[in-house]
């Protein structure tokens, strides 16, 4: 009998392993009918998971922790593929100094998203007041149009990932200023997490475990079949093979294929959220994390072979 699960993705390109596994038939093989639902923005995803609109969702750690601090009945159950800080600051080609951002509009997926908090911190540490010197635009469903908006001059920059970094640089629309840790004193945290509502955890613990295990198996399949993964990546983003290969290469050091939480990184995230006032007090691991779904670590070497 098929078991239905709604899996949340914050953009139409996120939750890449779940999409790959669904296309390859891995969920169906386990009797799981997986539907991927797009809910743009971290705070919005946390609310959808708590309400049951989404059963399991991928979200950035900062908005996930903020939601738990606000009392939402959700818990972290695993790590997404991009466990490391998978963002780069990209800006229009005519923006060459920090002062050039002043008076401009910068972008984030949503207010309270990972990109929002980190961009604020980076700008402030480089002499740009995020409340007075720039205007934030929250892209939501327009996140996929970011290069178009940069080219049109509607936004000056944002924290973004691949393949937008590679596409922007090749087209000359934007250039990369580098990873956040190279631009400011910002912590390296557990970046992207899988969350589930406490009602779903209590009601369907075996189904939750099975979904997470299929995603883990999909990650290992991707490692063993890099050409197939590369082809899937191309089609997902609608890019050519060179962009796909370069994108995977740039993000590879930030990937993790076993679904395990980076506990020290999560501790740093808890510190960060308290420091910036997103949580009223410093939350504990026990309040945010359900360790019952953490898999045993793999001993396999994670070697880049996609290209």
* pLDDT one-digit tens code per residue, 65-109: 999 999 999 999 999 998 988 889 999 999 999 999 999 999 998
Residue 2 confidence (pLDDT): 63
Stronger pLDDT, 83 or 295, i.e. the higher one: 83
CATH match for 3-84+189-293 among 2.30.30.110, 3.40.190.10, 3.10.180.10, 2.70.98.10 = 3.40.190.10
Q: Are 37 and 54 in contact (CB under 8 A)?
A: yes
With H, G, I as helix, E, B as strand and everything else as coil, classify residue 192: strand
Q: Residues 63, 67, 73, 75: is their CA dihedral positive or negative?
A: positive
The answer to whether residue 172 scores a pLDDT higher than 80 is: yes
The answer to whether residue 298 scores a pLDDT higher than 60 is: no
Residue 303 confidence (pLDDT): 44
Q: Are 87 and 160 in contact (CB under 8 A)?
A: yes
Enumerate residues 6+ apart whose C-beta is below 8 A from 191: 60, 61, 80, 82, 83, 84, 85, 86, 87, 114, 254, 265
- Find the mean pLDDT for residues 248-261: 88
CA gap 192, 189 in Å, rounded: 9
- Find the mean pLDDT for residues 189-214: 95
pTM for the full predicted model: 0.83
CATH match for 88-183 among 3.30.9.10, 3.30.70.20, 3.40.1410.10, 3.40.190.10 = 3.40.190.10
């Amino acid at each position: 009998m098929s078991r239905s699960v709604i899996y949340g993705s914050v953009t139409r390109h996120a939750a890449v392993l779940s999409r790959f596994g669904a296309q390859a038939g891995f969920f169906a093989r386990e009797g799981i009918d997986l539907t991927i639902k797009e809910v743009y923005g971290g705070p919005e995803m946390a609310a959808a998971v708590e309400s049951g609109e989404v059963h399991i969702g991928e979200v950035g750690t900062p908005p996930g922790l903020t939601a738990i601090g606000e009392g939402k009945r959700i818990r972290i159950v695993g790590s997404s593929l991009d466990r490391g800080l998978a963002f780069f600051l990209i800006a229009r080609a005519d923006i060459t100094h920090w002062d050039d951002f002043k008076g401009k509009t910068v972008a984030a997926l949503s207010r309270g998203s990972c990109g929002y908090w980190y961009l604020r911190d980076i700008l402030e540490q480089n002499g740009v007041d995020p409340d007075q010197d720039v205007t934030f635009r929250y892209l939501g469903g327009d996140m996929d149009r970011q290069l178009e908006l940069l080219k049109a001059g509607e936004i000056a920059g944002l924290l973004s990932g691949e393949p937008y970094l590679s596409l922007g640089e090749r087209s000359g629309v934007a250039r990369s200023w580098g990873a956040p840790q190279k631009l400011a004193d910002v912590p390296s945290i557990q970046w992207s997490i899988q969350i589930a509502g406490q009602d779903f955890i209590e009601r369907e613990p075996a189904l939750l475990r099975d979904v997470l295990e299929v995603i883990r198996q999909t990650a290992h399949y991707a490692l063993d079949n890099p050409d197939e993964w590369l082809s899937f990546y191309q089609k997902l983003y609608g890019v050519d093979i060179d962009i796909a290969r370069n994108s995977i290469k740039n993000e590879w050091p930030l990937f993790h294929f076993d679904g395990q939480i980076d506990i020290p990184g999560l501790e740093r995230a808890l510190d960060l959220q308290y420091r910036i006032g997103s949580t009223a007090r410093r939350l504990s691991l026990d309040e945010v994390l359900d360790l019952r779904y953490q898999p045993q670590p793999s001993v396999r070497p994670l070697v880049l072979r996609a290209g």
